[in-house]
Amino acid sequence: MTKKPSEYMTNPEYPDEPIPSNILVVDDSRVVRTYLQSHLQKQGYIVTLAKDGKEAVSLISNDIGIVLLDLWMPEMDGMACLRHIRENYPDIPVIIITVSHEISNAVDAMKYGAFDYVTKPFNPNEILALVQQAIKTRVQTERLRRVEAELDKAREHEIAIASRIQQTLLLGGKHEELKGIKLGDLTIASKKVDGDFYDVFMVHENCMDLIVGDVMGKGIPAALLGAAAKHHFMSVLYKLTRISGNTSLPRPEEIVLTVHDEMIGQMRELDTFFTLCYARFDLYRKLLSYVDCGHMRTIHFHSATNTCSLLQGVNMPLGFPGQDNFKEILIPFEDGDLFFFYSDGLTEAKDSKGDFFGEERLEAFIRNNAQLEPQELCSITWKNIVEFSQSETFSDDFTCVAVKIDLPETDEKVPQSRTLEVSNDLNELAKVRDFIQEQCDALADGVMDEERIKMVQIVSTEIMTNIINHSYKGKQGKKILIEAMSSDDEIVLYFYDWGIEFDFSTAPQPIFDGSKESGFGLHIIAHTADYVRYSRDSTGKNCACVTFFLKRRG
């Protein structure tokens, strides 16, 4: 609605912003009202008069620029009138008029939101100066509010843009399904715009690559860098695959290094980096090739033992200088296993006490719900964290990807399997070595030479010795169960015992200066077998699993 020009004055500082010129004078003295009206009208103001608070309440509106209010009046006093104005018209400045011995009451009025006060008798110039200052303050307040509204609108626009960026460039969207893998994902955007990203690449009929990353920082710059990273991974994967031809796929560590080399200059200029998981699922070999670059530890649920292990690499995030290689780790998996990738938005969600949801709580939740379909698992994980935090809004994006191994039935040859049960006695080691020899001899000719067989026997001996001396603490009469499984591709050995749980953190590092002849067992195991894993189930059964690959992986 267009305002009457007479109700507004020109603001010399901001000509395009009109100043409300209607002043409401509230005083029970007709002399005071008339006196103020005369001086204010000479300065171009429109003056509305009220003899008490009750009349003032009936006249007040947003068209009033300022109120001059006496404290002591009949019907409704100035304090009651002030409270009404503050509650219903908080932007209208109120100047209190009082006698000198009522200054304390005027100060109290200012606590209720009065702009200032003057005492009777007053100088009209003092009144005019206060009126001008009050109107100027109101104009500045309204101008600030408009600027804030424009900023809020700009922020909403930025978030809307970033949301489209995330949906179209950062997040995986719908993917072609790989037979043998079930995939679930979920992303819930935070109030802020973050740099979470992930994608899936079907690199072979039996092979799927997954990337999950998080750019340091917030806002559109982080989102754009995440989108750029995704583009680089797609481009590098395509380029290296063309170079290698049909002989083999480029290794994940090679892909990550190439992307890092291509983006390091850009990330240095932006003074940023991003964490990353690059995971290749090889269904033919039942093998995960995993490059971790400072990302949240991936949860690996083992269906055979109903246990979880946390996958963590040794690489720094991409963007850190001085990195000339990235190391991948190889992790065998079985049918029914599940891998859960996630961003820090999950573990850093807080409850009302300020406690984090945390990695331990998340791991337990995944273990207890791993039987669910991946998409359902992602959804109930979100619901569980919302219930924990009592909020659906977090400071970081909520991003998770669940990958479940669901291998189809095949006509492939059943792996050769045999078991051996021995007592926890060092005299049983010869029997264990013979058991290993028989398992290896059953393989096709030329698959394993005598030197490789001896290495498998050495690893088995070291594991047995560790169980006898540390898990069972040398106590006699305990049993150790060994299960061996072999295929054309690998030999997997499981050593089961029911002793003390093995704790990696307490294991001393080997000393190579010649001063000691023992303490090398774990080092030998870790550097001889292709894959080593320790776990313990809810019944107290320990399992040491070692894998030896019979064919070159990659």
pLDDT in tens, 11-25: 555 555 566 678 999
Domain boundary among 125, 143, 161: 143
Question: For residue 5, what pLDDT is reported?
Answer: 37
Same domain? 189 vs 120: no
Question: For residue 26, what pLDDT is reported?
Answer: 94
**pLDDT class for 279, splitting at 50, 70, 90?**
very high
| Lookup: tokens for 464 | 């047995």
Question: For residue 2, what pLDDT is reported?
Answer: 33
| Lookup: tokens for 409 | 């039935």
Same domain? 243 vs 131: no
Same domain? 129 vs 250: no
The answer to whether residue 470 is domain-embedded is yes
Q: For the stretch 27-61, what's the b/e string if a residue is b when 16 or more beta carbons lie within 10 angstroms of its beta carbon?
A: bbeeebbebbbeebeeeebbbbbbbbbbbbbeebe
Same domain? 241 vs 202: yes
Pick 10 or 316 by higher pLDDT: 316
| Lookup: tokens for 45 | 């103001």
The answer to whether residue 154 is domain-embedded is no
Q: Which residue has the tokens 């100047």?
A: 95
Q: Could you tell me the CATH number of the domain that includes residue 334?
A: 3.60.40.10
The answer to whether residue 38 is domain-embedded is yes
The answer to whether residue 325 is domain-embedded is yes
The answer to whether residue 526 is domain-embedded is yes
Rounded CA gap, 486 and 379, in Å? 38
**pLDDT class for 522, splitting at 50, 70, 90?**
confident
The answer to whether residue 367 is domain-embedded is yes
Question: What is the enclosing helix (H) or strand (E) of 49?
Answer: strand 46-50
Contact 260, 232 (CB under 8 A): no
Same domain? 317 vs 211: yes
Whether 196 has a pLDDT exceeding 90, the answer reads no
Same domain? 401 vs 447: no
Contact 538, 531 (CB under 8 A): no
pTM: predicted TM-score of the whole model, two decimal places: 0.56
**pLDDT class for 81, splitting at 50, 70, 90?**
very high
Question: What is the enclosing helix (H) or strand (E) of 500?
Answer: none
Rounded CA gap, 234 and 167, in Å? 17
Same domain? 438 vs 388: no
| Cβ neighbours, 10 Å, residue 488 | 12
Question: For residue 284, what pLDDT is reported?
Answer: 81
Pick from 127-141, 303-317, 435-449 the range whose average pLDDT is largest.
303-317
Same domain? 367 vs 478: no
Same domain? 433 vs 389: no
Residue by residue, what is the 3-state secondary structure of 194-230?
CEEEEEEEEEECCEEEEEEEEECCCHHHHHHHHHHHH
Q: For the stretch 160-187, what's the b/e string if a residue is b when 16 or more beta carbons lie within 10 angstroms of its beta carbon?
A: eebeebbeebbbbeeeeebebbbbbbbb
Rounded CA gap, 207 and 200, in Å? 11
Rounded CA gap, 512 and 495, in Å? 28
The answer to whether residue 291 is domain-embedded is yes
Total of domains in the chain: 3
Q: Tell me which residue range forms the domain holding 27.
A: 5-143
Q: Could you tell me the CATH number of the domain that includes residue 446?
A: 3.30.565.10
Residues near 198 by beta carbon (within 8 Å), at least 6 away in sequence: 170, 171, 172, 185, 210, 211, 212, 213, 341, 399, 401
Question: For residue 468, what pLDDT is reported?
Answer: 92
DSSP class per residue in 316-335: PPBT-TT------EEEE--T
Same domain? 392 vs 455: no
Question: For residue 481, what pLDDT is reported?
Answer: 94
Domain boundary among 336, 371, 405: 405
Same domain? 289 vs 388: yes
Q: Tell me phi and psi for residue 90, to 5 degrees.
A: -65, -20
Same domain? 369 vs 432: no
Pick 136 or 356 by higher pLDDT: 356
Q: Measured at the alpha carbon of residue 173, what is the angle toward residues 170 and 178, in degrees to the nearest 5?
A: 120
Q: How confident is the model over 480-514, as pLDDT tens digits?
A: 999 998 877 788 899 999 999 876 545 556 554 55
| Lookup: tokens for 86 | 């503050």
Q: Tell me phi and psi for residue 553, to 5 degrees.
A: -95, 145
Whether 319 has a pLDDT exceeding 60, the answer reads yes
Q: Which residues pair with 533 in a beta bridge?
A: 545
Q: Could you tell me the CATH number of the domain that includes residue 11?
A: 3.40.50.2300
Q: Which residue has the tokens 């901001």?
A: 14
The answer to whether residue 209 is domain-embedded is yes
Of the candidates 58, 104, 96, the residue with the CA atom closest to the CA atom of residue 79: 96
Domain boundary among 143, 159, 188: 143
Average pLDDT (413-437) is: 87
